[in-house]
Structure 1
Amino acid sequence: MLFRYIFLLLFVSNVFSQEKGLVYYGFIDAIGIGNSKGPDYNSYLLFNKEQSYYVTCKDSLENVIEKEAQKTYENEEGGGAIYNGLKVSEKGDQVVYHIEKNTMWSNFLYEKQIYVKEVAPKIDWKIGKETKKIGVFNCKRATANFRGRNYTAWFTTEIPLPFGPWKFQGLPGLILEVYDTNKNVHWYFKTIEYPSKSNEKLKYISKPVKEKLNSYSEYKLLQKKIKEKATDKNKLISKQFPGVTFIDPEIKQMFIECEE
């Protein structure tokens, strides 16, 4: 009898721990423009009680017209940028976060796929008193400075798991919306399945053998090299167009993570 009870307890515990959630977000990449005026990508976060898997900028998540359409976005000063279609790839930009291992794996496309493995970053969230409703969920406001930008996040304790889109985590509830002060980047809630009946399994990032797996420190050095390369390119172009001023790029106008 005792054996049966223990077996049932372990079975129920295992099923509960494997219960999945699937939340769909929109991700607006308005880096260098602000005010959420930029390409709008489809994203989703798959999670259970142990880990999460996030992906955006993936071929299969976007339709052909959006991928190929050229659009111009302007900021309040009249400047802006022209995007020749969405910046997507076969695997998309991915982030995996595992609670027990305290580890985060990520990859994203910048000329080529860049892969990073790091200790899960600790975000010093400050939880405020403000609340708002997102979908059917009551949400609380939290703020933090993270990797060079000041963020506001809206999370719900009705799903008491510490996950969110991209690298955001560590709050006592699921993050449904998050954006930086100038809305250079903006993740917003679309729909959720919790628990989810999706057949998709939580997974890790598949990295080609020849590709380097960077630490976060190595990734920051890589950012600087990419910036220097862009600056050198500007110098060469400026020689061909005397009298025209080319503004050198800043890391904050090139990457989501922009701490120097």
Structure 2
Amino acid sequence: MDAVQAYAVSLYALSLGCAVFATCQTAAMTRLVQAPSLRLFWYLVTAVSGAVEILHAAFTVRLALLTSPPTDIAVSATIMLGAGGIFAGMARFMRASILDVQQAATLKQLAYRDPLTEIGNRRAFDTSMAEGETSGRPTTVILFDVDHFKTYNDTHGHEVGDLVLKHLARVIAGTAPGYSLYRVGGEEFAIVAPIRQDEAAMLANLCRASIELVPLLHMDQPIHITASAGVAQFRDGDTVSTVMRRADQALYAAKRAGRNRVVEAA
């Protein structure tokens, strides 16, 4: 093997290494991508890349065994190495980009999720309310508050208090699937629904009844929970502050009237 041939074989081997690296990157991307159509695309890219590598490897071996290689072999080997390096760099860049996008999405999700109950937090609620203010369609907020919540902490401890909040979130979410539920602070929860106030009041009563009928089981003992709710719909000229004020007033009215009930805002 003369010097030119050895040089060409080395470059082809390096370009093959770049192609293998790129294929590993594209294979990793199929696990990162969530959309089925994009995942299928990356499966196809990986398959084509693998097939090209097999041909590439066979040609590299054949080149090494040639007794009289072509005169332009050094030029073609240099081109192959450059192309392989570009492909590997692009694959690595795209994988890093997908990871960055997914990390940003995860951080955003965490920023809008309550860590205890794993439902939307106050920030997510404020965003939903702002959208409801400008949506131009009927939007109603339901505020739930656990009745006598301090009693659970004083009687059973704060650990059980946390279980009560988790239980309430599960019951409301299970009773009102399809509606976004938020923990807006302490023992207070909310639903922002694109429905009229009378419809939201029926939904709130259904959730209230479910909370009353489904106890929290702790140490094989049932802990009975009730909650009160206030309901208010966005009206013409309403802001988030004004509709929240009416919902709060309705919730306080439910508390004053004996708890475990739903009151609509006037």
TM range (shorter): under 0.3
Normalization by structure 2: what TM-score? 0.24
Q: State the TM-score, normalizing by the size of structure 1.
A: 0.25
